[in-house]
Structure 1
Amino acid sequence: MGFQQGLTGLNASSKNLDVIGHNIANSQTVGFKASRTEFAEMVATAIGSAGGNNAGIGVQVDAIAQQFTQGNISITGNTMDVAINGNGFFQVRQPDGSMAYTRAGNFKLDDKGNVITNNLAQLMGYPVDPLTGQRSASSPIPMVFPTGAPIAAKQTDNIVVSMNLDARATDAAGSAGPPPIPATPRSAYGTSINVYDSQGVAVPVSLYFQKTATANTWDIYDKLDDPTATPPVVATPVGQLVFDGTGVLTSGSPLTLTVDPALTNPNNPPAPFPVTIDLSKATQFGTKFAVTELTQDGYTSGQLTGINISPDGTILTRYSNGVSRPEGQIALASFRNTQGLADVGNNLWMETFSSGQPIMGTPTNGNFGALRAGALEDSNVDLTAELVNMMTAQRAYQANAQTIKTQDQVLSTLVNLR
């Protein structure tokens, strides 16, 4: 026995204690992955020596391998916190432009609308067309949201109306009888909604439905008569709804109206624009007049008020004008060999030749995990196991120190022989 074996054992045990201490120190670090020390024996062999006759010269640290097991997911309630439940890494662009990867989803918004980590790396994702919800690029880019300037207004293109017109209604013009039937005011069957021009200014649109003398037929007006005007205004129908004997609409939808923004926008208003009105859900049944749906697709400008992240990584932004729309989709990366990733600190890993290039995708697609908003992935360090490992490493260190002490005593005995 020589000093070499005990010395290598001390070095290996010391390194093992370093790794265990690092794990324990990061037991509360978001997205941290514990490491373990892997040892290998050291053997000095000579050419031609017989096998089995070499006692070996000690131990060496063969590898410090990180364990990429899933950590527990803890609910935080912070909408910018995101946890990955399953496979994948967030891709982030560091301030120097290099790409890195992390499991820590404690993101924040800076004053420019960038989604960043604590060390100012930008979260990467796919841009999405907010109007169609479709991805507009195939490569990830930094996620940026309009926090400083409001989103632009959107001009109304479509109105959807769902309603029931009373099948018991008589001719709006009335009759002399017998018995006499009074005229029905045009306003008796009417509704209105605000639409928006290209500057985001609201313009009211009114719809009035007037029963005609023809069975199951209703004229549509966009205004009332005004006998007090000079000259008096007499409204003309802008469309007509026709129902069959079962109350189902047979014609009259869609209807196109021309909206004049000058009615409410005096400051160089946009030109009049067409609005398509979908009346296909209109019915004529024997119940009172009721509007059950009245929506339009325009809006005024608005400031960012909040962000929601769905399990598939789609980022929905909420604005002060009541609009919620997709602005992007978080990208995830996976690697052929996660053990080959280089740990560079700050909860970040970088690709290496051993790890292979990243395979990019989106949450819930393929083998990628789902995202959990308002939650974080905890460190996967098992404190109980680490404390047991620490005691074992301590005993190993003491035992190796004892071999050196014993060798010293043997050597001393030899030197003192007379």
Structure 2
Amino acid sequence: MSFYTSLNGLKNSQTELGVIAHNIANVETNGFKKGNTQFADIVAGSAQTNPRMIQGIGATVEAVTQNFGLGPIEQTGSALDLAITGDGFFTMQAADSGRTVYTRNGALEMDESGYITDGGTNRLQVFPTDADGTVTSATPVDAQIAPVNADGAEFVGVTVGADGTVSASYADGSVTAVGSVALASFITPTGLKQIGSSNWEATGISGEAKYGSPGNGQYGKLMSGALERSNVDIAEELVGLITAQRNFQANAKAIDTATQISQTVINLRT
């Protein structure tokens, strides 16, 4: 039994090493949230077993959880680089499939049609507003900036306020509100499904998204001209890497010891 106990220990250490390696690989990924490996012990016993004689049979990986702690904020100067200084996720919707994803990576840009996107097909979702920036609907829609205003003046720039209001400036000096950034929150954010590119999808564990405006209630304010970096602490990960390596070596040594004992028993002479 000791062979399989130690073998499980080796597999667990490999899993932890994989999680740490993934964290280290994404130390420069905007909006990335590090993972933590959680373990649980395994015991075996029946109703007839003396509780003082129940034997542990190793450990198992209980969960790989995500740490949604705030990462460092880096100033960039670009108006469409957005960082959430608190809780919440940007809501993005794919133009081709209608798939909704959530992200903390606010590196956004405008496409040729005036939509604010993540550089791909995902479009930023905003609450519709009137020209003064007052929200008129609680249902998010695609953020789109008109290339010319009602008077025919051309678009010259965009700003995003701390309250999420997206405003477009035009050559005649006018400023028009495009919408208010819709932030999403979840009752259990650690239940979100990672799908890559610093994006997540809602699941039955996370619950459905609840939408709100930046700076209201549980939703953090927006900072324009800045990006949230990865929350991976490289020093902490390297210490974890050493610990996981030592655990792997210890389990391998336990297997080697069990092998030597078995060999001794086999070589017994009567």
**Deviation (angstroms), 1:327:** 1.2
8 A Cα contact 1:119 1:346, kept in partner? no
**Deviation (angstroms), 1:98:** 1.7
Match of 2:227 in 1: 376
Distance in 1 between residues matched to 2:133 and 2:47, nearest whole Å:
69
Distance in 1 between residues matched to 2:118 and 2:214, nearest whole Å:
19
Match of 1:223 in 2: none
Return the letter of the residue paired with 2:55. Answer: A
**Deviation (angstroms), 1:330:** 0.4
Distance in 1 between residues matched to 2:163 and 2:63, nearest whole Å:
36
Q: 2:193 aligns with which of 338, 342, 345?
A: 342
- Counting aligned pairs with the same residue, the percent is 39
Does 2:78 correspond to 1:78? yes
Superposition map of 1:212-291 within 5 A = none
Match of 1:326 in 2: 177
Please report the TM-score for the alignment, with normalisation by the length of structure 1: 0.63
* SS of residue paired to 1:78: coil
8 A Cα contact 1:81 1:375, kept in partner? yes
Return the letter of the residue paired with 1:341. Answer: L
Match of 1:288 in 2: none
Superposition map of 1:197-212 within 5 A = none
> Residue deviations 1:348-399, cap 9 Å, x none?
1111111111111000011110000000001100100000000000000000
Distance in 2 between residues matched to 1:121 and 1:376, nearest whole Å:
18
Please report the TM-score for the alignment, with normalisation by the length of structure 2: 0.96
Return the letter of the residue paired with 2:193. Answer: A
Distance in 2 between residues matched to 1:123 and 1:51, nearest whole Å:
58
Distance in 2 between residues matched to 1:5 and 1:98, nearest whole Å:
43
Match of 1:100 in 2: 101
Match of 1:310 in 2: 161
**Deviation (angstroms), 1:33:** 0.5
Distance in 1 between residues matched to 2:250 and 2:120, nearest whole Å:
43
Does 2:253 correspond to 1:406? no
Q: Aligned pair in 2 of structure 1 residues 119, 15: CA closer, same or farther (>3 Å)?
A: farther
* SS of residue paired to 1:56: strand
Match of 1:390 in 2: 241
8 A Cα contact 2:45 2:55, kept in partner? no
Q: 2:209 aligns with which of 358, 361, 375?
A: 358
Distance in 2 between residues matched to 1:415 and 1:393, nearest whole Å:
33
**Deviation (angstroms), 1:120:** 2.0
Return the letter of the residue paired with 1:62. Answer: E
* SS of residue paired to 1:329: strand
How many residue pairs get aligned? The number is: 268
Match of 2:50 in 1: 50
Distance in 1 between residues matched to 2:52 and 2:142, nearest whole Å:
60
Distance in 1 between residues matched to 2:38 and 2:233, nearest whole Å:
18
> Residue deviations 1:213-257, cap 9 Å, x none?
xxxxxxxxxxxxxxxxxxxxxxxxxxxxxxxxxxxxxxxxxxxxx
Bigger Rg, structure 1 or 2: 1
Distance in 1 between residues matched to 2:6 and 2:97, nearest whole Å:
45
Match of 1:152 in 2: 150
Moved over 3 A (4+): none
Does 2:91 correspond to 1:91? yes
8 A Cα contact 1:316 1:326, kept in partner? yes
**Deviation (angstroms), 1:3:** 0.2
Return the letter of the residue paired with 1:4. Answer: Y
Does 2:221 correspond to 1:367? no
Distance in 2 between residues matched to 1:111 and 1:375, nearest whole Å:
23
Distance in 1 between residues matched to 2:232 and 2:196, nearest whole Å:
16
> Residue deviations 1:129-158, cap 9 Å, x none?
22x4322322000101113xx2121xxxxx
Distance in 2 between residues matched to 1:332 and 1:33, nearest whole Å:
18
Distance in 1 between residues matched to 2:139 and 2:197, nearest whole Å:
25
Match of 1:216 in 2: none
Does 2:262 correspond to 1:417? no
Distance in 2 between residues matched to 1:323 and 1:355, nearest whole Å:
42
Distance in 2 between residues matched to 1:122 and 1:413, nearest whole Å:
67
Match of 1:289 in 2: none
**Deviation (angstroms), 1:334:** 0.7
8 A Cα contact 1:26 1:379, kept in partner? yes
Distance in 1 between residues matched to 2:163 and 2:51, nearest whole Å:
58
> Residue deviations 1:298-341, cap 9 Å, x none?
xxx21111111000000111111111221111000111111111
8 A Cα contact 2:133 2:165, kept in partner? no
Distance in 2 between residues matched to 1:310 and 1:152, nearest whole Å:
23
Higher helix share: 2
> Residue deviations 1:36-79, cap 9 Å, x none?
00000111222311113123111110000000101111100111
Distance in 1 between residues matched to 2:69 and 2:119, nearest whole Å:
23
Which blocks of at least 5 consecutive residues in structure 1 are unaligned?
A: 154-300
Distance in 1 between residues matched to 2:143 and 2:53, nearest whole Å:
63
8 A Cα contact 2:31 2:104, kept in partner? yes
Match of 1:141 in 2: 141
Distance in 2 between residues matched to 1:135 and 1:412, nearest whole Å:
76
Does 2:117 correspond to 1:109? no
Which blocks of at least 5 consecutive residues in structure 2 are unaligned?
A: none
**Deviation (angstroms), 1:100:** 1.1
